[in-house]
Amino acid sequence: MREKLTIRDYPIAEKRPELLEAEGGKAIADLNLEAVESGAVTMEDLRITPLALGLQAEIARDAGRPTLADNFERAAELVEVPQDFIMEVYELLRPGRAASKAPLMDAARVLREVHGARRMAAFVEEAAEVYERRGLFRYRF
């Protein structure tokens, strides 16, 4: 069982680079120009991972920034969510896009069941409740 990271482990790329390889990612040292030229490194290798966001959340919490840590944890759940679906959910969350709670609740269900985004799903459901209470399911354009 790994101990939670603290501010002493930051920056991770300098202090704990070995942790970043844990999910089968390439070592940071291997992300060099020669590898890019040869095609061995792609955009895929230059993405942040849920693990890295989780580690940053631990550091943010240790630094006394619990809300930032929460955001990193929500973000970790979105890493594997396709861009189009992210933009779809974002659009639904904007005022007046959904005509009722239903589309938001559906989006939350997909987030939870398809993408395992438990926190984000609860967040979207909470938004649906608030929007109903504040009358945001109204025609805007």
Partner 1 sequence: MMVQGSNRWRRFAEWDERPLRLDKFAAEDAASGFSAFSSPSDPKPSVGIVEGQVSSLDGVPAADFDMIDLFIAKYHIDPAVAPEAMAIPSPQIARMLVDMNVPRAELVRLAHGMTPAKLAEVVAELSALEIAFAYSKMRARKTPGNQAHVTNAKDDPLQLAADAAVAVALGFDEIETTMRVSRNAWSNAVACCVGAAVGRWGVLFQCSSEEAEELRIGMAGFSSYAETVSVYGTERAFIDGDDTPWSKAFLAAAYASRGIKMRCTSGAGSELLMGFHESKSLLYLEARCLCLQRAMGVQGTQNGGIDGAPLTATMPGGFRELMAENLIAVWLDLECASGNDARPTESEIRVGAKILPYLIAGSDLICSGFGSILKYDNSFNPSLLNGEELEDYLVLQRDFEADGGLTPIAEEATLDLRRRATDAIAAVFEELDLASPSAAMLASVVVASGSDETESYRPGEVAVISEAIKARALSVIDVIRALAARGFREEAENLLQLVKLRVSGDYLQTSAVVRGGRVLSAINDPNDYQGPGTGYRVSEARRQELNAIRDVLDRETVLNQEAEVARRSARELSLKVMGPAEIGTDGAEVVVGVSPGFGVKLFRTVGGIPLAALMTEMVAGIEEGGGRARIVRMRHTADTSFLGLSAARLSGSGIGIGLQAKGTAVIHQADRLPHNNLELFSNSPITQLSHYRRLGYNAAQYAQGLAPEPVVVPTRGEAMGSRYHARVALIYAIETELTEDGAAPEEIMMSFGRVPA
Residues that bind partner 1 (CB under 8 A): 7, 10-14, 17, 20, 25, 28, 31-33, 36-37, 41-43, 45-49, 52-53, 55-56, 59-60, 63-65, 67-72, 74-79, 81, 83, 86-87, 89-90, 93-96, 120, 123-124, 126-127, 130-131, 134, 136, 140
Cα separation, 41 vs 27, in Å, equals 11
Angle at 76 between CA 3 and CA 54, to 5 degrees: 15
CB of 105 to partner 1, least distance (A): 14
Report yes or no: 61 and 10 within 8 Å, Cβ to Cβ.
Answer: no
CB of 15 to partner 1, least distance (A): 9
Is the Cβ of residue 2 or residue 134 nearer to partner 1 in the bound state? 134
CB of 61 to partner 1, least distance (A): 11
Angle at 57 between CA 51 and CA 62, to 5 degrees: 135
Is the Cβ of residue 1 or residue 39 nearer to partner 1 in the bound state? 39
Helices 101-113 and 118-133: crossing angle, nearest 10°?
170
CB of 121 to partner 1, least distance (A): 11
